[in-house]
């Protein structure tokens, strides 16, 4: 009974998210563009899901992966934006301990899922361009669903241990989080015990997710480029490049802020804290907002369906 009680006392009943440190007076106004970005993300991704669901001609692997990306973006943005706007506009930064761990779980799990879906989409483009005759036999609906399930299970299995590690740590009643949402390292820094295992495990998960995904993406596009450069038809080359351009844009929007946020949290002490937090916020807002716009504008079938 005593040990159970002490365990309960080792967790503060709640944390307080302060939003963007150093910009507390300005974040009320920052909330308006953030709210607009979230509204565009909701509208764009829900529209994509409805179009892909209702249009029978879009039941191809490429569009099924796009539907997975849209669903992932909806979960990712919804897991943190409503609470963030509550902090900016209402000053309601208090979040329960369990709710904070849950938010952390969804943010990091679906960040890993998004990376996996982008990797799967690059493999889809590789098979479509380099192995067009085997495309339908290799990427059947069952295979696409299996890939999506594996990507989701990978995210859950890799992020869950980090959440359990945090749940078992003493926090000594430190409860002010210098962030807009419950990010792993921001919460770890509040613990009063030895946090080396948490920090090492966070690095391990990041490299285990992003490392293989980026290697496969790089290999896919290297092979695609080799095949495209050998095409005799300029029109065929243009079509192949156009097909891949939207995917490359989406990857840049996702990975560039992700790497900046990840590296500055650990090694960028000279970077102002409010800059790091703003980039970390935009990392979870920009991809959900821009992905449906990029694919809607650059994908002919979706553009025609919308028009």
Torsion region of 163: left, alpha or beta (phi above 0 gives left; psi -120 to 50 gives alpha): alpha
Whose CA is closest to 100, among 181, 176, 174?
181
* 291 alpha carbon, distance to own chain's centre: 12
Secondary structure of 138-157 as H, E, C letters: HCCHHHHHHHHHHHHHHHHH
Q: How many domains does the chain have?
A: 1
Tokens of 193: 């015990």
Task: Answer yes or no: is 165 within a domain.
Answer: yes
Residue 5 lies in a domain: no
82-86, Cβ contacts within 8 angstroms, sequence gap of 24 or more: 83/17, 83/181, 84/19, 84/31, 84/34, 84/180, 84/181, 84/281, 85/31, 85/34, 85/35, 85/38
Q: What are the pLDDT tens digits along the chain (307 aa)?
A: 334 444 444 678 889 999 888 888 889 999 999 999 999 999 999 999 998 888 877 888 888 999 999 999 999 999 999 999 999 999 888 999 999 999 999 999 999 999 999 999 999 989 988 888 888 889 999 999 999 999 999 999 999 999 998 888 888 767 888 889 998 888 888 888 778 888 889 888 988 998 899 899 989 888 888 888 777 777 767 777 776 777 788 888 888 877 777 776 666 567 777 888 888 888 889 889 988 888 777 677 777 676 5
Q: Is residue 7 part of a domain?
A: no
Residue 278 within any structural domain of the chain: yes
Task: Check if the beta carbon of residue 180 is closer than 8 Å to that of residue 278.
Answer: no
**Domain CATH number, residue 300:** 1.20.1070.10
pTM for the structure as a whole: 0.89
Report if residue 8 sits inside a domain: no
DSSP string of the chain, one letter each residue:
-HHHHHHHHHS-SEEEE-SSTT-TTTHHHHHHHHHHHHHHHHHHHHHHHHHHHH-GGG-SHHHHHHHHHHHHHHHHHHTTHHHHHHHHHH---EEEHHHHHHHHHHHHHHHHHHHHHHHHHHHHHHHHHHSGGGHHHHS-HHHHHHHHHHHHHHHHHHHHHHHHHHHTS--TT--EESSSS--HHHHHTT-SS--HHHHHHHHHHHHHHHHHHHHHHHHHHHHHHHHHHH-S-HHHHHHHHHHHHHHHHHHHHHHHHHHHHHHHHHH-TTS-HHHHHHHHHHHHHHHHHHHHHHHHHH-HHHHHHH-
**How many whole angstroms from its chain centre is CA 184?**
14
**Predicted local confidence at residue 173, as pLDDT:** 67
So what's the pLDDT on residue 4? 41
Establish if 37 belongs to a structural domain: yes
Q: Is residue 73 domain-resident? A: yes
Domain-embedded: residue 263: yes
pLDDT at 291: 87
- 70 lies in which domain range? 14-304
């Amino acid at each position: 009974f005593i040990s159970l009680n002490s365990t309960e006392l080792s967790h503060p009943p709640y944390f307080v998210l302060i939003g963007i440190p150093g910009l507390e007076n300005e974040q009320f106004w920052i909330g308006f563009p953030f709210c607009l970005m979230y509204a565009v993300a909701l509208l764009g991704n829900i529209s994509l899901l409805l179009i892909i669901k209702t249009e029978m001609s879009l039941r191809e692997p490429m569009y099924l992966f796009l539907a997975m990306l849209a669903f992932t973006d909806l979960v990712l943005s919804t897991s943190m934006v409503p609470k963030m706007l509550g902090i900016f506009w209402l000053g309601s930064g208090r979040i329960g301990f369990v709710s904070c761990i849950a938010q952390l779980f969804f943010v990091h799990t679906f960040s890993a899922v998004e990376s996996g879906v982008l990797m799967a989409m690059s493999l889809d483009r590789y098979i479509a361009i380099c192995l067009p005759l085997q495309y339908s036999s290799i990427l059947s609906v069952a295979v696409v669903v299996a890939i999506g399930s594996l990507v989701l299970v990978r995210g859950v299995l890799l992020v869950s241990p980090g959440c359990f590690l945090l749940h078992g740590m003493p926090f000594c009643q430190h409860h002010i989080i210098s962030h807009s949402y419950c990010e792993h390292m921001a919460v770890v820094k509040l613990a009063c015990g030895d946090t080396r295992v948490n920090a090492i495990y966070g690095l391990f998960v990041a490299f285990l997710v992003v490392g293989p995904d980026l290697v496969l993406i790089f290999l896919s596009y290297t092979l695609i480029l080799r095949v495209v450069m050998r095409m005799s038809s300029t029109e065929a080359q243009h079509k192949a490049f156009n097909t891949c351009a939207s995917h490359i844009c989406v990857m840049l929007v996702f990975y560039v802020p992700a790497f900046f946020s990840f590296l500055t949290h650990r090694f960028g002490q000279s970077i102002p804290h409010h800059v790091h937090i703003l980039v970390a916020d935009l990392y979870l807002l920009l991809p959900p907002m821009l992905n449906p716009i990029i694919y809607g504008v650059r994908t002919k079938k979706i553009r025609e369906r919308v028009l």
